[in-house]
Amino acid sequence: MRHFLTLADFSKEEILEILNLAKTLKNEVKSGIYSKPLAHKTLGMIFEKSSTRTRVSFETGIYQLGGNGIFLSSNDTQLGRGEPIKDTARVLSSMVDLVMMRTHQHSRLEEFAKYSKVPVINGLSDDFHPMQLLADFMTMQECGKDKNPIVAYIGDGNNMAHSWLMLTSKLGFTLRIASPKGYEVSKEILKKAESFARISGAKILLSDNPREAVAGADVVTTDTWASMGQEEQKDKRKRDFKDYCVDSELMGLAKSDSIFLHCLPAYRGQEVSEEVLESNQSKIFQEAENRLHIQKGVMVWLHKSR
Ligand code: CP
Ligand code: NVA
């Protein structure tokens, strides 16, 4: 049985296999075909943080596959009142067939997975957001940006930056990350990515210079300056990140046919300008829709691994 906690646990071949499966499922839905490989299966969805896309895409996805999803907010379950993860994991996994969890410390997911009898999927932790990265790469494939692309990530060295590190180092393309001093990616995660990059041939470049990172890029991406759980740092971060807005001028340094991606929600006038977000280069809504298709692929793939 396999869990999906980070892209680090998957080979390049497995990642591409899941992407292919998602493409087939997407094509089927677009032609009105709904195969039901997960009929009578239940997905438990634990949310310890807010969500729009992750909740709706997982719930719709399991329904389209013939199964059923249960939304479990930490406010309304005993998890929120301190029931240990290891007890919750054993109880839930005796009843449901798959679990998706969005939480704070990544170690909570690891603990859940350790005690779970069914596959566990990371729907975002403080360290990683792998489902988003699969949707991002699916969008890059659809836009013809999947062959040795140069990706520029501008901003916080957070869960999205870490997931880009994992994807890039597994698939072997170029990633340039520009973050302000003090907001760099985790050294431990970078080390792991560099060890994968030695095998895949990926190139990882880190700097604090957005212009250098974006120059000649095929894909430009960014994320909020203050992630969930960092609300009290908002004002300081606004000051520290003020030179890291992806605006038309910065985007103009990328290739003329480059695309812009953002996991959303986006904060206009902060990490990205309204103009870039609403431009033809912006693929953010295609990217958001792909969360549905890729997660269906992940659920089918993981269920088969049992
Ligand atoms: N991108 C993303 O995960 O969005 P939500 O927080 O709305 O789920
Ligand atoms: N980095 C953001 C991503 C939201 C989808 C956060 O963790 O809040």
> pLDDT tens, 270-306?
999 999 999 999 999 999 999 999 999 999 999 998 8
Measured by CA distance, the residue closest to atom 6 of ligand 1 is 51
Which residue is closest in CA terms to ligand 1's atom 2? Answer: 53
**Which numbered atom of ligand 2 lies nearest the CA of 264?**
5
Ligand 1 pocket mutation pick from 136, 159, 291 by most atoms within 8 angstroms of CB: 291
Q: Which residues have any ligand 2 atom within 6 Å of their CB?
A: 124, 158-160, 223-224, 227-228, 263
With beta carbons less than 8 A apart as the criterion, state whether 229 and 49 touch: yes
Atom of ligand 2 nearest to the CA of 156: 1
How far is it, in rounded angstroms, from Cα 9 to Cα 1? Answer: 13
* Three-state secondary structure call for residue 239: helix
Model pLDDT for residues 111-134, shown as the tens digit of each residue: 999 999 999 999 999 999 999 999
Q: Which residues of the chain have pLDDT under 70?
A: none
Kindly state the greatest CA–CA separation across the chain: 54
pLDDT of residue 8: 96
Nearest alpha carbon to residue 5 among 94, 83, 108, 140: 108
The pLDDT, as a whole number, for residue 305 is 87
Q: For position 186, what pLDDT does the model report? A: 98
pLDDT for the residue numbered 39: 98
214: helix, strand or coil: helix
Alpha-helical runs (H) found in 48-105: 53-64, 85-92
Cα separation of 195 and 166, whole Å? 10
CA atoms of 246 and 268, how far apart (whole Å): 10
Query: What distance in Å separates the CA atoms of residue 49 and residue 84, rounded to the nearest whole number?
Result: 18
Could you give the residue numbers annotated as active site? 102, 129, 132, 223, 263, 291
Residue 47 CB-density burial (10 A; 0-12 exposed, 13-18 middle, 19+ buried): buried
The per-residue pLDDT for 6 is 98
Q: Tokens 């609300």 label which residue? A: 231
Judged by its nearest atom, the ligand closest to the C-alpha of residue 158 is 2
Tokens 């300056």 correspond to what residue?
A: 225
How do residues 139-156 score in pLDDT, each as one tens digit? 999 999 999 999 999 999
Name the residue among 186, 254, 260, 268 with its Cα closest to residue 225.
268
Verdict on whether the full-model pTM lies above 0.95 = yes
Report the atom number in ligand 1 closest to the C-alpha of 102. 8
Q: Is residue 132 in contact with ligand 1, taking CB distance under 6 Å?
A: yes
